Structure 1
Amino acid sequence: MSTKHHNAVGPQVRRKKQGNKLLPALGVLSLGGGLQAATQYFAAAFNYQESLGVHINHVYSPWSILQWGTAWYSQYPNEFMQAGSVGILVSTTGLLSVAVAKVIASNSSKATEHLHGSARWAGEQDIQAAGLLPRPRTFLEAVTGKESPSSTGVYVGGWEDNQGKFYYLRHNGPEHVLTYAPTRSGKGVGLVVPTLLSWPASAVITDLKGELWALTAGWRKRHAKNKVLNFAPASVSGGVCWNPLDEIRTGTEYEVGDVQNLAALIVDPDGKGLESHWQKTAFALLVGVILHALYKAKQEGTQATLPSVDAMLADPNRDIAELWMEMVTYGHYQNGENHPAIGSAARDMMDRPEEEAGSVLSTAKSYLALYRDPVVAKNVSQSEFRIKDLMNHDDPVSLYIVTQPNDKSRLKPLVRVMVNMIVRLLADKMEFENGRPVAHYKHRLLLMLDEFPSLGKLEILQESLAFVAGYGIKCYLICQDINQLKSRETGYGHDEQITSNCHVQNAYPPNRIETAEHLSRLTGQTTVIKEQITTSGRRTAAMMGQVSRTIQEVQRPLLTADECLRMPGPRKNAAGEIEEAGDMVIYVAGYPAIYGKQPLYFKDSIFQARASIPAPLLSDKLIQVHDEVEITI
């Protein structure tokens, strides 16, 4: 008993095989032609006699000969035999032709379509199946006015069909998006701004230079009904204040863990880990001092802040030994007991040699130098919103983290603290009911992080991508190229998990060959059918001596690295402004790659009108602070 091997390759293993229906159809046609010939021959033999009901110049149905034979065969047997012979001759000729065609087809060489790979560019049905284009609405959706999920969500690119019609591609699932786009390639005007001018729920946006605030905050406040918060730590006025220490859950079992997470970010501003002895000891010291500042401020009715922690360590009017003694003897709890974590940190410093203790102290103070800037100190002195408000306020909340280019490097530690706390506090617990997770938030949150590798390695971000979608958080991550992401010094290393946790990846024309090679591998390998013709004989002869054709399957990337580098980018004028969109590629896991077109918000009258709405002059505030009494708005 022979077994037919199931050796289909690639995704087409589940494709239903379509048999060749042409030859069977020709066989049936041959039989029908024989009956038709017999019918017409019999009618002609009687000269289309009216007496038999046979009319002149009439084409009869093929089965008429069968009806006539039933009625008149006994009277005209010879005529029917002659007609039958003609029909058999015609049918036999047709069937022989079909048999010859079958033999020729069996002996002809055929190309194996997917021998070396089955990659192809996505068509409209593929893009619809991937959820980036709205599917045709059903009757029920049309009656109820229900909107397709792909009619909302974030913008991941554009696509032109064969007729040149342009479509926006949008993704609204819980999965994350990763974009590769070099500087000045148009990612802001093509992806970020359209998304922020249409996303209705809460959002956290890293905004260099404040451009996104100027273009999108007006629409988000007026029409998306968002509370818009402008957190600009280096700005003198108009922004919202936020104190990281207000997010510490003091008095709970989480307080030490919260302070340790905060201290680790303070002493590791680049995300390289606690490598040196001085970083580790400074970390242990800051955990105790921050906890002491929180408990002391609570008992004295003051506000604990990072500037106050720095002032506590650098008080010129007080010997540092007095601080260690205070931490060891202070009654942090209501019963007058000392906090063990605080006392241990102070005792550790008291037991160190004077020179080593001085080095640990100076290391800790160096990491708090940012908060000696009076502008930054003012903006982190109190909280006019809380992290939990982003997803649980009555209205959606849009938080713009604005850093000017000249302040970007020095403010990086503070931005890292904020992003870290957003992830930790908004994805801290999950409850289940009837075997399903229960959402504990009022609004979804879009984490729009432009140039996120510039924040250094945020381990919590990399680890949380695998599960934050379940908490209603969707990440839109943008980097310049794959090298920036995989850098061992400033990125996540070659074993990074960012790419594997992003369902959608899109890319503008890259500048680096490493990124082009990565995109080429994502696009896949395809099989090209190569036909080679060989001739012999003199060129001037009337006929060639011999012509032979050879069909060969050849493997090649659907998009080679050099083709990726040569993708047309946006066309700009002399002032550097984009006048015409370039090409891009979009990858959705499990679907063919999409060769797309960059969208441009200013080419769309609706987006242009939304971007023209002026941004608020002052940031919204969710908490008003009067005489140290917080009033939630």
Structure 2
Amino acid sequence: MKTFNAGQLIFLLIVIIPLSWMIATVVVYPMNGLGLKATWKTYQFGMLWQVLFADNIRSDIRLSGVKAIGAGFCGAVMVLVMMFLAAKQSKTSIYGDAKFASDADIRKSKQVTWGDKSKGGIIIGSHKGKLLRYTQPDFISMGAGTRAGKGAGIVIPNLLDYDGSMMVLDPKQECYTITSKYRQKILGNEVFLFDPFSRKTHGFNALTYVDLSTEQGVTDLLSLGETIYTTDGKSGPEKHFNGESQLMFVGCAELLWFLMTYRAADLKSFGIKHCFSIGTILELFNRIPMEDVLANREVYIETTDDPHVLFIIKDALDKFRHYVELGDEPKSSVSGTFTEKLKLFTLPLFRAATDRNDFDIRDMRRKKMSVYLGIMATEVDIANNLLNLFFNFAIKVSMRENPDFVRDLKYDVIFLLDEFPAIGYMPYIKKAAGFIAGYKLKLLTIYQNISQLNEIYGLQGALSLLANHPCKIIYATSEKEDADKFSAQLGYTTIKAKGKSRNTSKGGTSRGESESDTQRALVLPQELSTLKFDEEFILLKGENPIKCKKAFYFNDHYFMDKLVSVSPKLEAAVKELNKGVATGKPGLKYPKKEIMLSYGELEADLKLAA
């Protein structure tokens, strides 16, 4: 605590005494019934002296003079305190004045609500037992290492709280297993699970969203080709062969649509399935010789006189001719790139799940839907192309309709992307974050460390990506690079540093102390690595950072009550642990997660294709 020496106290008295007297010479007037105007006209500096010491002054007037001196003293102290605080604030700002948000700051926040669900929003933490929700349309990012509690602290809480549409990357299907029934039965969502490596899956066929009978369909097909064989952010041979593979993909899709519509017998003769899907495109590429297609050019062109259809078949034939005329080596490279990206479509279960379409991404803003992309951990390593296609394409499809002009697009869609780097490169998120937000699409991107993002997007690209996430949630991190960056983003403050000196001369030894301002990070990098498991920081654009708790769903009756409401067995177990009480009360005991899941009552009832 700051103390004052004798010299400083004498200085304060020298300042306070005359300042108190000056204030009292003014205050004595209104204490004797004079208003502001009368005080201004009759003010005399020596009047207070007369009130206190003149012989002919009444006792009540003399008492008002004493009171005026007391008021003057209080006023002088207040003036000095305000001057001291102003000087301190000015001095602090030289090195930084970062601080954590106070309760008052949180209440006044324009971005976060505290314990108030009326404005909706995404749960980002908990403070003093009340949930914090981010209510802005902007993106949210979270850096959290393995086993940091991100699933229990942010993913599952939002799935149990947000009643609009959600698209979830669910690598272990834990989110689906715990939350899908509640979202279906209580929140009124249509629930879908897409796991093309399993028979327990709904279908998703990207070509359902491409209608080549319309002019817009050609544009949509080109967009799909770019999604699969992206050239954005690529260079050199990779960019070239991705571009060539795009041409082949578009050409095969155009030919497939033409044959299905006008010459179905040709498909049958080659043993190709009558299905407009990516798997069938790969099948067509592998089974129909390009030379045979080109040899039938006149036959195909004479099939119809529709200008739009003629454009499509001629465009397909032109792309095939370009491919055939390539040299053997470049043709082999194009073929390898083309088939490598589509190799999963040769798997029987995968092909079956992607030849049909059981949910429409375009409806997610029209009605409440929850889509879980539940790729199991054992398949994540080989499913990166699928993850990239699914989420990039979902965003592109959603941006075909602008909610400003289409009134029935009334629901926001949250893309909850756990293990975000597994998706790979997502150009829209990097370049058009604000643009996407205007289409009622919100992203919560979760990654383990910044180096993952650097590897995918490059150093500058990763910086740009994170800059598009104005709300950042920070868990404890052991990565030095991450700790350094987060520490810098949390800001710096000014502290007093004391120094001691010792001088020796012929006259003896003298000692001295000095005090100076120095800079300190609000949170040191090493403090980020030792952050308690249940603690987190929240960075907000233009507001003080918040230090708070993670919003764990387990052992919190707000969330657990929701699970109890859809599971009779869980309800019975909770009652047994709590003397007949199952809901509505803090501090209840609950079964362990493994036991809770063993009841098998938290999964949605799915209608799957036979």
**TM-score bracket, shorter-length normalisation:** 0.7 to 0.9
1:253 aligns with 2:215: yes
Q: Distance in 1 between matches of 2:99 and 2:290?
A: 69
Partner of 2:517: 553
Residue type of the partner of 1:447? F
1:412 aligns with 2:384: yes
- What do residues 2-42 of structure 1 show as CA deviations (whole Å, max 9, x unaligned)? xxxxxxxxxxxxxxxxxx99975553336778978866767
- Distance 1:375-1:348 versus aligned 2 partners, 3 A rule: same
- Distance 1:21-1:256 versus aligned 2 partners, 3 A rule: farther
Partner of 1:349: 323
Alignment of 1:139-538 (within 5 A): 148-149=118-119, 152-159=120-127, 165-237=128-200, 239-267=201-229, 272=234, 275-276=237-238, 277-299=240-262, 302-315=274-287, 319-326=289-296, 329-331=299-301, 335=306, 337=310, 339-353=313-327, 356-357=330-331, 360-392=334-366, 395-430=367-402, 441-487=409-455, 490-496=456-462, 497-531=464-498
Q: Distance in 2 between matches of 1:545 and 1:31?
A: 53
Q: Distance in 2 between matches of 1:214 and 1:560?
A: 39
Runs of 5+ consecutive residues of structure 2 not aligned to the other structure: 1-14, 29-45, 265-273, 567-600
Choose 438-447 or 601-610, whichever is displaced more: 438-447
Q: Distance in 2 between matches of 1:319 and 1:344?
A: 15
1:597 aligns with 2:569: no
- What do residues 278-299 of structure 1 show as CA deviations (whole Å, max 9, x unaligned)? 4433322121001211232234
Give the length in aligned residue pairs: 516
- Provide the aligned C-alpha RMSD in A: 3.9
- What do residues 508-529 of structure 1 show as CA deviations (whole Å, max 9, x unaligned)? 0012111011101111121113
Partner of 2:22: 27
- What do residues 218-256 of structure 1 show as CA deviations (whole Å, max 9, x unaligned)? 11111110001111111113x211111111132333333
SS at match of 1:600: coil
Is the 2:496–2:518 Cα contact (8 Å) retained in structure 1? yes
Q: Distance in 2 between matches of 1:267 and 1:521?
A: 38
Is the 1:508–1:585 Cα contact (8 Å) retained in structure 2? yes
Report the alpha carbon displacement of residue 418 of structure 1 after superposing the two structures with TM.
1.5
Q: Distance in 2 between matches of 1:313 and 1:39?
A: 108
Is the 2:178–2:603 Cα contact (8 Å) retained in structure 1? no
Larger CA Rg, structure 1 vs 2: 1
- Distance 1:198-1:269 versus aligned 2 partners, 3 A rule: farther
- Distance 1:299-1:456 versus aligned 2 partners, 3 A rule: same
Q: Distance in 2 between matches of 1:500 and 1:217?
A: 32
Is the 1:457–1:492 Cα contact (8 Å) retained in structure 2? no
Is the 2:92–2:493 Cα contact (8 Å) retained in structure 1? no
SS at match of 2:99: coil
Partner of 1:578: none
Choose 332-341 or 512-521, whichever is displaced more: 332-341
- What do residues 549-578 of structure 1 show as CA deviations (whole Å, max 9, x unaligned)? 64421112211222222222x2xxxxxxxx
- What do residues 27-58 of structure 1 show as CA deviations (whole Å, max 9, x unaligned)? 33367789788667678x99xxxxxxx8xxxx
SS at match of 1:209: coil
Normalised TM-score (structure 1): 0.72
Is the 2:123–2:134 Cα contact (8 Å) retained in structure 1? yes
Residue type of the partner of 1:397? M
Q: Distance in 2 between matches of 1:21 and 1:296?
A: 97
Question: Per residue, is there more helix in 1 or in 2?
Answer: 2
Choose 505-514 or 414-423, whichever is displaced more: 414-423
Residue type of the partner of 1:199? Y
Is the 1:327–1:342 Cα contact (8 Å) retained in structure 2? no
Residue type of the partner of 1:619? L
- Distance 1:185-1:306 versus aligned 2 partners, 3 A rule: same
Residue type of the partner of 2:168? I
Residue type of the partner of 2:321? R
Is the 2:114–2:130 Cα contact (8 Å) retained in structure 1? no
Is the 1:134–1:148 Cα contact (8 Å) retained in structure 2? no
Runs of 5+ consecutive residues of structure 1 not aligned to the other structure: 1-19, 47-53, 66-86, 138-146, 160-164, 538-543, 571-580, 626-633
- What do residues 96-151 of structure 1 show as CA deviations (whole Å, max 9, x unaligned)? xx89x99xx99xx97823221121111112222334654799xxxxxxxxx642xx
Report the alpha carbon displacement of residue 261 of structure 1 after superposing the two structures with TM.
2.7
- Distance 1:250-1:337 versus aligned 2 partners, 3 A rule: closer
Choose 608-617 or 207-216, whichever is displaced more: 608-617
Q: Distance in 1 between matches of 2:168 and 2:509?
A: 72
Is the 2:138–2:437 Cα contact (8 Å) retained in structure 1? yes
Is the 1:536–1:546 Cα contact (8 Å) retained in structure 2? yes
Is the 1:206–1:450 Cα contact (8 Å) retained in structure 2? yes
